[in-house]
A and B are shown apart, each in its own frame.
Chain A
Amino acid sequence: MNATARLATVASRPERVGLGVMLALSIGAIALGAGWVEGPSAAVVAGAMLASVVGLVLVAFVGGLETRRALAPYGLLKPGILWLSLFFLAPLWSMVVMSLSSKESRFDFFPSFTWEWGNYRTALTDFRPQFLRSFGYAAVATVLTILVGFPLAYVIAFRGGKYRNVLLGLVVVPFFTSYLIRTLAWGNILADEGPVVSFIDSLGLTGVLESLNIMDNGKLLNTPAAVIGGLTYNFLPFMVLPIYVSLEKIDPRLVDAAMDLYSSASAAFRKIVVPLALPGIFAGSLLVFIPAAGDFVNAQFLGNPQTTMIGNSIQDQFLRQLNYPVASAMSFVLMFIITIAVLVYTKFMGTEDLA
């Protein structure tokens, strides 16, 4: 088969060309991002990516109907795939390599790849308390956001009336302020001489809260409760908004129908509203739990030396100890555990049947 014939055969299967080009380019993007190619060859790879986009645009204008149809999925996928290859897969690959590398000296900036599985052992043994604490805090914060967020979303969806959008806006508005500033502000609010502690003192509840382990030695700031509270506050909108979206879609006549069939109000709530809101709770839980488990800001500003979370440890290993291999291994362990947790959660809470 000569070259022209071969080209003709290939051209007759445009979807294969599309798939091939896309895969080749995403490998190219990873190569670019992971630093395998540099200088002129990097320019060639970047040029090829640009050319493929231009080629697709050309095909969209001049190609035949069949070709266009066959290529459309790849054209639509390509921007996302290339973006993720360059900014997600490539860094991920660099981190895999780093997490299995070892440093010759402390300030060695180019650790060499040595299959150093010990990094993972260090990550799991030395930082076990921080891992456990992070997942514990994140789980409690997730439950608290459901307890606070569900009634809030319920009221906005069913009782908000014409003020619905205003109320939703009010949920979101505080989050136009920087995350850091809001967390620091909580430091002021919870301070020993601050309003909350004085209020609790004047009610004489300090002893009660201390026995519940919420306060410690008369203080609220720099306790586990403050860290969990900060997480709950900071991630609350991520719970309220998805639950609101689920609730808002519920037809109120379903509840009416249940009542007509002699259901009590609470049974109607349990058997109709809650199941229909589950997709929102499910999505909200993921949106809260995942970032909360990796958070380091709340533990840093509202916690004490015994409340550090895994995010703080990773930051410390990266930026202060300059221990990139162990820090990368810790990041991977964190990602791995979260992925497993999410998969298990999806298995038991999965909403495919409900949707």
Chain B
Amino acid sequence: MAAKLNRRQFLIRSGMAGAGALSLPALLAACGGDDGGGGNSLFFENWPEYIDSETVALFAKASGVKFKYTDAYNDNNEYFAKVQPLLAKGEKIKADVIAPTFWMASRFVQLGWAQKLPVNKIPNMANLRDDLKGQPWDKDQEYNLPWQTGVAGIAYNVKETGRELGSVEDLFDPAFKGKIGMLTEMRDTMGLVLMGLGKNISQISTFDDAVEAFDKVEKAKNDGQIRAFTGNEYLKPLSAGDFAACVGWSGDVLQLGKDNPNVKFIIPEEGGTSWFDTMIWVTGSENGDAVAKWMDYCYDPVNAARITASVQYMSPVKGVQEELVKLGGEAAALADNPLLFPDEATVARLQSWGALSEEEEAKFDEAFAAITGA
């Protein structure tokens, strides 16, 4: 190590490194096909901070699968825009399994960009929660397995609000002018507002059904009520007090609440938007065996409980509550948390969006983009 490079050696070596860098793309292109390595490797692209620190390594060890996990899935629409050029041409993307939210997963299925899962190799699929089975766009549960599920509700910083919140109307309270945040995820934000207006969002199929809610949010924006529309990055302003209240996701706020007790989350009395993120197997991937192994692993309640203890979203897997109790300590306390295992009264307040046709969805998205100012 101590040997010093003279100038000549340095030049030669940096030249070699440069040549290496130049030929790297060619090499990558050459072995692009067998990224799978005989179907025994797996690339899972998931949302940020959406798994515990151990599971990836534990799975790789237990299964022998060469497992790559990234958290580059940051936004449904942007991810779609990123992969569309390849998938539309029938080419493959790098990831085998991705984690789109249910409505985006349904778009992948409708466009034919998702493969049928090797269900007979995933015995633990039997542990899937009954209420998530047989979505209208995947009646036979052939294309998707939920990853985590959750609720969009109201998150607030009690130091800024000075009172406890309970209703969707609180987001429009003039006392919080310029201190309200909303999510750029259209369904979560508009779902909440629609429920505040007494609508049942599972019944909404055309833009006309929802126009009242859009007008309400637009007015709030023009009045300066809404400070910003955010993606994942709403936690910082909420914690710092720039947002008094915002539309937020249950698990995020639970994680944050551990550090900042002022931050609270409620499912408003009018209802909360329930959603789930899925795992789907993208077309072009040849690693079906590894996909099956991974999904089977995640649907083992022991492993699912470990993930839940970290991400604090509702698990789609049956039997997690019991396993959390067995883990003891902080994890056991989660078993009693009503946001992870809601009681029946809470479940009755949750609603989820039905399917929107392509044209209607476009109207929703355009109207929402006009409001968010883009």
Contacts and interface: CB of A to CB of B under 8 A. Distances in A.
A304 B81 CA distance: 24
Given A216-B178, A217-B178, A191 B237 contact: yes
B222 to A, nearest CB: 8
A109 interface: yes
B371 interface: yes
B228 A304 contact: yes
B227 interface: yes
A305 B365 contact: no
B177 interface: yes
A320 B240 contact: no
Tell me the interface secondary structure of chain B in the complex.
helix
Contacts of B365: 320-321
B88 A109 contact: yes
Given A107-B84, A221-B242, A308 B373 contact: yes
A219 interface: yes
B227 A304 contact: yes
B289 to A, nearest CB: 31
Contacts of B177: 217
A107 B371 CA distance: 22
A305 B373 contact: yes
Contacts of A188: 240
B111 interface: yes
B231 to A, nearest CB: 10
A320 B78 contact: yes
Contacts of B88: 107, 109-110
B237 A319 contact: no
Contacts of B372: 305, 308
B80 A304 contact: no
A191 B237 CA distance: 8
Contacts of B224: 216-217, 304, 306
B20 interface: no
A74 interface: no
Instruction: Report the interface size class on chain B.
Output: 35 or more
A142 interface: no
Contacts of A193: 240-242
B215 interface: no
A287 B33 CA distance: 44
B374 A192 contact: no
Given A191-B237, A192-B241, A221-B242, A318 B374 contact: no
Contacts of A317: 374
A334 B366 CA distance: 21
B229 interface: yes
A219 B366 CA distance: 30
B226 interface: yes
A322 interface: yes
Contacts of A216: 178, 224
Nearest to A320: B77
Interface in A203-251: 216-217, 219, 221-222
B32 interface: no
A315 B365 CA distance: 14
A305 B226 contact: yes
A229 B297 CA distance: 51
A316 interface: yes
B85 A307 contact: no
A106 B80 contact: no
A131 to B, nearest CB: 13
A266 interface: no
Contacts of B374: 308, 312-313, 315-317, 320
Interface string A177-201: 0000000000110011110000000
B358 interface: yes
A319 B374 CA distance: 11
Nearest to B87: A109
A321 B369 contact: yes
Contacts of A321: 365-366, 369
A105 interface: yes
B318 interface: no
A171 to B, nearest CB: 29
B362 interface: yes
- Identify the interface centre among B89, B242, B359: most chain A CB within 10 Å of its CB: B242
A133 to B, nearest CB: 10
B221 interface: yes
Contacts of B178: 216-217, 219, 222
A107 B81 contact: no
B369 A109 contact: no
Interface in B347-361: 358-359, 361
A216 B225 CA distance: 11
Contacts of B78: 319-320
Contacts of B371: 305
A222 B228 CA distance: 7
B84 A322 contact: yes
Contacts of A318: 81
A120 B374 CA distance: 17
Given A217-B177, A312-B373, A106 B229 contact: no
A315 B237 CA distance: 23
Contacts of B242: 191-193, 219, 221-222
Contacts of A322: 77, 80-81, 84
A106 B357 CA distance: 11
Contacts of B228: 222, 303-305
Question: Closest 5 interchain pairs by CB?
Answer: A316-B374, A109-B88, A308-B373, A305-B373, A320-B77
Given A191-B237, A316-B374, A321-B366, 13 more contacts: A106-B359, A107-B84, A107-B111, A110-B88, A193-B241, A216-B178, A303-B228, A305-B373, A312-B373, A317-B374, A321-B365, A321-B369, A322-B81
Interface of A: 105-107, 109-110, 187-188, 191-194, 216-217, 219, 221-222, 303-308, 312-313, 315-322
24 contacts: A106-B358, A187-B236, A192-B240, A192-B242, A194-B240, A222-B242, A303-B228, A304-B224, A304-B227, A305-B226, A305-B371, A305-B373, A308-B372, A312-B373, A313-B374, A319-B77, A319-B81, A320-B77, A320-B78, A320-B365, A320-B369, A321-B365, A321-B369, A322-B81
Interface of B: 77-78, 80-81, 84-85, 88-89, 107, 111, 177-178, 221-222, 224, 226-229, 236-237, 240-242, 358-359, 361-362, 365-366, 369, 371-374
